[in-house]
Structure 1
């Protein structure tokens, strides 16, 4: 078998007809593996998703099986990364798995396993929300040799809840509504449903509306408001995320004509709402989410809406009404059977170094930058170095690590990294600018000036380069040239505080500032010193504090900040000196 990787929306869109053909022919297919559902979910997946697609070893261009997966990036305390493999539908799909033309199972399953073992890097594989009756996954797991892997059954229990989410009740529907009422329900439930449905149908007070293009948004708003009133306290911070995902899924399924969504009303007051996915191909109706007014129970909104949906399903030839995961007591009054789910974790034995897959590199870089911005330097350094182990010429990682090395005072390492970056990208303005900053920090002013001039040759409107060039010239005592650079920076960026303050400092050195101007710029120098200190640039912070004091010796804040940073630097220096 040939295994291809599908990992972008455009390619996924192109294979829809092929996917739908396999889905229709697969008796084990279920809605969360349909092209329609996945096309709505995958764009919302934060992690890197991909689909293994199998086709025979011929020139046939059609695929015979699909296996949706995702790579989840995990980070250790020291900043090191490793990846775990998950089913693409987690964390919202009640069922996961693969779809396959039945005649190709024997070849497809070992081919998928071989690809995962040989072509992907992962430390553990979470096979979650798999039906116990899924014989394909059982055969799939046999491809992982027991001498190399350990297998554990995992069960998640939500604290404070009695519901078992590894049980999925469902109703195997009869051919007609009356037969369902008579054969599936207790006499008490049967009588209630008949009485309450007649009450709704014959009432001027109560009515049920069904979703359409005009009321979709109002229906979603009603449902989520009612749902939130029940679950806000328990779901906490996750409540908003859940509602956002649900609303997006409902809109997507409505657009693809696979949503059944009634709302029960008393006059103009909504009493309850229920949303269901409609799988026409597999003749299944899947209950997704409901919300009801907890202050109203006569007639009971939940009972009425479920009964109305089941009646609709039977009348339209559906064979299954699926309550999905969770064995809540009320579901059993509708004559359900049970499916059981399992969560199996496959881990490498004796894995000394946790593995990570290159597909997770963009997310790894994003997390590393976040750590760097939070001044978690050790964690960020580990992240940058691990990225460069995977991709030695990664431009952003080379630059980020060079900035970090400069912060740590490891100037030679920072310079080497920037020179490596310039070999990869000879015209990188960012690299040249950082190289100028590095030279300036070390007092190599002629080298810094050369770097800034190279920046300006490539990008003549780079106001920051003019500002820094002016500062380098100022340090050489070339005041007029420095002031001209500051003025140019301000012409390009009138709100550039650094250029304004540096220009004022140069004028002050020439005794060209009034007393009021000196007092004003003393405050601004102190503010810039604080900003430099916050990002770890203590040398420049000290220079700004000293400049502030020279302009206004009575500015207590500047003197305090200078003393504080000098003391911190002294302590840092003492701690870095080895004890002999």
Structure 2
């Protein structure tokens, strides 16, 4: 098995075909592991970081990609994935059958190159390679801080019918959902779910910002670079048939929206928004209901609501799961220093704004 380090954007750009072929073979991988997300993220948010993609081939077959980069701060050389903090789900792209050998070689390479610390945030707790990675670090004499419940996330396992979904909800939530639909139809002649093209993404940005500002939050899309990144990612995923830009229309006024990605029979919602001027009609709740109903009709298996413990996720019948975090280094002192100052690291210019 060979190990190659990709350090230039030009070589990164040439990996698209084989990268996405590997992605398509990995059941656990999410759209955030596509070449498009990672390459665009690097292009927009690289800052002063240095590319350090670790590529593994076995008999000229690609079996693993670790999309990493180096960030230097407070004298530490920190190795972490592209997209850290701004990506709902981080994964290492590793074929399960090759995971032991890949991770053994990776840990040896990590140790040999004298990195100070490996920071893996937002790795889904169900990642099939987690235990192997932790055991391999420890067997090499490295210290590992493992937080299995680092960040709560939520998803809905969609049933075969809308009625089955309603049965799964609490009695109060079911009554609220039905009441909100009746109330909206009492005040508007038409309430409809509308799918739009990528050309409408600016309207989604606007609704997201309105919703966040109404809650005294700056919002994701106050940052122009984030808007440009998401706009470009939306365009490339639209061309691949993955993009979902969904609006709730009330008498032809767009009052709420969801920006999401669908792949491998799963929906991943990235950001949501609504117009606070229509808050009494519950446009966000209405949109979720109609959208979930539509996903059930389409045969979507999982409706992913991403990171964060928002109360509406429980109300929608979502199940809690967790992203894990692994921090590995040669000493407890280095790990303690990193964790103590992590909030300050998050505010550093080399961290992209989170897309929560």
Q: What TM-score bracket applies, with the shorter chain setting the length? A: 0.7 to 0.9
Instruction: Classify the secondary structure of the residue corresponding to 1:138.
Output: helix
Describe the superposition over 1:156-189 as per-residue Cα deviations: whole angstroms up to 9, x where unpaired: xxxxxxxx9711111111122222222x212332
* Alignment-derived partner of residue 329 in structure 1: 311
1:303 is displaced (CA, Å) by: 1.0
Instruction: Classify the secondary structure of the residue corresponding to 1:174.
Output: coil
Is 1:122 the counterpart of 2:104? The answer is no
Cα pair distance change 1:351/1:166, threshold 3 Å: closer
- Note the 1:443-522 alignment, pairs <5 A: none
Cα pair distance change 1:247/1:318, threshold 3 Å: same
Cα pair distance change 1:269/1:229, threshold 3 Å: farther
Count of residues in Structure 1 that have an aligned counterpart in Structure 2: 331
Provide the C-alpha distance between the structure 1 equivalents of 2:150 and 2:110, rounded to a whole number of angstroms: 28
Instruction: Classify the secondary structure of the residue corresponding to 1:234.
Output: coil
Provide the C-alpha distance between the structure 2 equivalents of 1:199 and 1:19, rounded to a whole number of angstroms: 49
Cα pair distance change 1:173/1:240, threshold 3 Å: same
Corresponding residue to 1:285 among 243, 260, 267: 267
* Alignment-derived partner of residue 172 in structure 2: 188
- Unaligned 5+ residue runs, structure 2? 335-348, 350-356
- Note the 1:6-85 alignment, pairs <5 A: 6-46=6-46, 47-56=49-58, 58=59, 60=60, 62-74=61-73, 76=74, 81-85=75-79
1:37, 1:253 within 8 Å by CA — same for their partners in 2?
no
Describe the superposition over 1:465-512 as per-residue Cα deviations: whole angstroms up to 9, x where unpaired: xxxxxxxxxxxxxxxxxxxxxxxxxxxxxxxxxxxxxxxxxxxxxxxx
* Max Rg structure: 1
Is 1:240 the counterpart of 2:223? The answer is yes
Higher strand share: 2
* Alignment-derived partner of residue 530 in structure 1: none
2:205, 2:221 within 8 Å by CA — same for their partners in 1?
no
- Unaligned 5+ residue runs, structure 1? 156-163, 353-366, 368-580
Higher relative contact order (CA 8 A, sep 6+): 2
1:313 is displaced (CA, Å) by: 1.9
Cα pair distance change 1:283/1:217, threshold 3 Å: closer
- Note the 1:339-488 alignment, pairs <5 A: 339-349=321-331
RMSD between superposed Cα atoms in Å? 3.1
1:260, 1:277 within 8 Å by CA — same for their partners in 2?
yes
Provide the C-alpha distance between the structure 2 equivalents of 1:334 and 1:306, rounded to a whole number of angstroms: 8
Instruction: Classify the secondary structure of the residue corresponding to 1:143.
Output: helix
- Note the 1:198-237 alignment, pairs <5 A: 204-213=189-198, 215-230=199-214, 233-235=216-218
1:350 is displaced (CA, Å) by: 8.5
Describe the superposition over 1:267-293 as per-residue Cα deviations: whole angstroms up to 9, x where unpaired: 4543222211212xx211011111222
1:339 is displaced (CA, Å) by: 1.0
2:204, 2:258 within 8 Å by CA — same for their partners in 1?
no
Cα pair distance change 1:168/1:225, threshold 3 Å: closer
1:222, 1:270 within 8 Å by CA — same for their partners in 2?
no
Cα pair distance change 1:176/1:192, threshold 3 Å: same
1:36, 1:256 within 8 Å by CA — same for their partners in 2?
no
1:100 is displaced (CA, Å) by: 2.3
Corresponding residue to 2:87 among 85, 90, 93: 93
* Alignment-derived partner of residue 303 in structure 1: 285
Describe the superposition over 1:44-69 as per-residue Cα deviations: whole angstroms up to 9, x where unpaired: 2322233211111x3x2x30111111
Provide the C-alpha distance between the structure 2 equivalents of 1:2 and 1:299, rounded to a whole number of angstroms: 59
* Alignment-derived partner of residue 273 in structure 1: 257
* Alignment-derived partner of residue 134 in structure 2: 141
Is 1:131 the counterpart of 2:124? The answer is yes
Cα pair distance change 1:144/1:327, threshold 3 Å: same
Provide the C-alpha distance between the structure 1 equivalents of 2:151 and 2:125, rounded to a whole number of angstroms: 10
* Alignment-derived partner of residue 263 in structure 1: 247
1:200 is displaced (CA, Å) by: 6.5
Cα pair distance change 1:85/1:230, threshold 3 Å: farther
Corresponding residue to 1:170 among 147, 155, 171: 155
